Amino acid sequence: MFNLKEIKEAHLKVKSGVDFTNYIQELIKPGVKKYSTFVIDGHTLFFGDDDYQIKSRPNYAKLNVANISDKNRFKHYLKNHRRGQTDYPAFCNDSAKTGVEK
């Protein structure tokens, strides 16, 4: 089963949103089936087979997540991030501004 060390090693290879597809492939190798990252503080729950799960620590100070979502604005931020135009902290801040919870 996977552990946080393996996940951190895969994450270190990510330099921008362009690397996201490779990151997902790196998570699948040790058995990650799905995960949820929470925008409020960046902690993530990783899930594997047989109800296995582990939780990472928060990655940053708590953000204020907007109560009302703005799907079109989020899509704009996501496109920019996938093109490598923003780093992860900026993307998390943008996500919070548009009401994205995870």
- Confirm whether 102 is domain-assigned: no
Global pTM? 0.83
pLDDT tens across 3-60, in order? 999 999 998 888 776 778 889 999 999 999 999 999 999 999 999 999 999 999 999 9
Tell me the residue ranges of DSSP E strands in the chain.
34-37, 44-47, 53-55
Domain with 65 in it: 4-97
pLDDT tens across 62-93, in order? 999 999 999 999 999 999 988 889 888 999 99
Confidence (pLDDT) at 78: 93
Pick left, alpha or beta for residue 84 (phi over 0 → left; psi -120 to 50 → alpha; otherwise beta).
Answer: left
Confidence (pLDDT) at 74: 97
